[in-house]
């Protein structure tokens, strides 16, 4: 499992986790789309926004490996703003490639800037 050095481990001042510390070789948590309902708490929406901005700042539009990124946090964006970047896609692999869809990300999170980004 690749560890994305320099990627924030959590949302500052909260317990919203962005990365995991070590791989679980027996049971990799598969990525699955989690529904975002309109009545989600503001803190949850802020965590989604901060996580997506961190992804964009770190990877930009280039495909990236899932690695140590938290499956639960990715699930809130998976299938909308974060998409599989390979076919076939294995949702239970730390080596799975993902990419950000900047058009969908801009529509869902208009407060974020998707014009730059590394990569």
Would you write out the chain's pLDDT as a tens digit for each of its 119 residues?
888 888 999 888 888 999 888 888 788 889 999 998 888 888 889 999 999 999 999 999 999 999 999 999 999 999 999 999 999 999 999 999 999 999 999 999 999 888 765 54
How many angstroms from the chain centroid is the CA of residue 36? 14
Q: List the one residue out of 50, 40, 1, 49 whose CA is nearest residue 24.
A: 1
Q: List the one residue out of 102, 96, 94 whose CA is nearest residue 119.
A: 102
Q: Is 110 exposed, middle or buried (0-12, 13-18, 19+ CB in 10 A)?
A: exposed
Q: pTM of the entire structure?
A: 0.88
Sign of CA dihedral 22, 66, 78, 62: positive
């Amino acid at each position: 499992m690749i560890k994305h050095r320099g990627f924030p481990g959590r949302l500052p001042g909260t317990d919203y986790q962005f990365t995991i510390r070590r791989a679980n070789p027996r049971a990799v948590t598969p990525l699955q789309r989690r529904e975002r309902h309109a009545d989600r708490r503001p803190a949850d929406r802020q965590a989604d926004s901060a996580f997506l901005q961190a992804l964009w700042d770190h990877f930009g539009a280039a495909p990236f490996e899932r690695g140590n990124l938290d499956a639960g946090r990715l699930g809130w964006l998976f299938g909308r703003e974060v998409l599989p970047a390979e076919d076939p896609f294995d949702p239970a692999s730390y080596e799975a490639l993902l990419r950000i869809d900047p058009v969908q990300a801009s529509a869902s999170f208009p407060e974020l800037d998707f014009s730059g980004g590394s990569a």
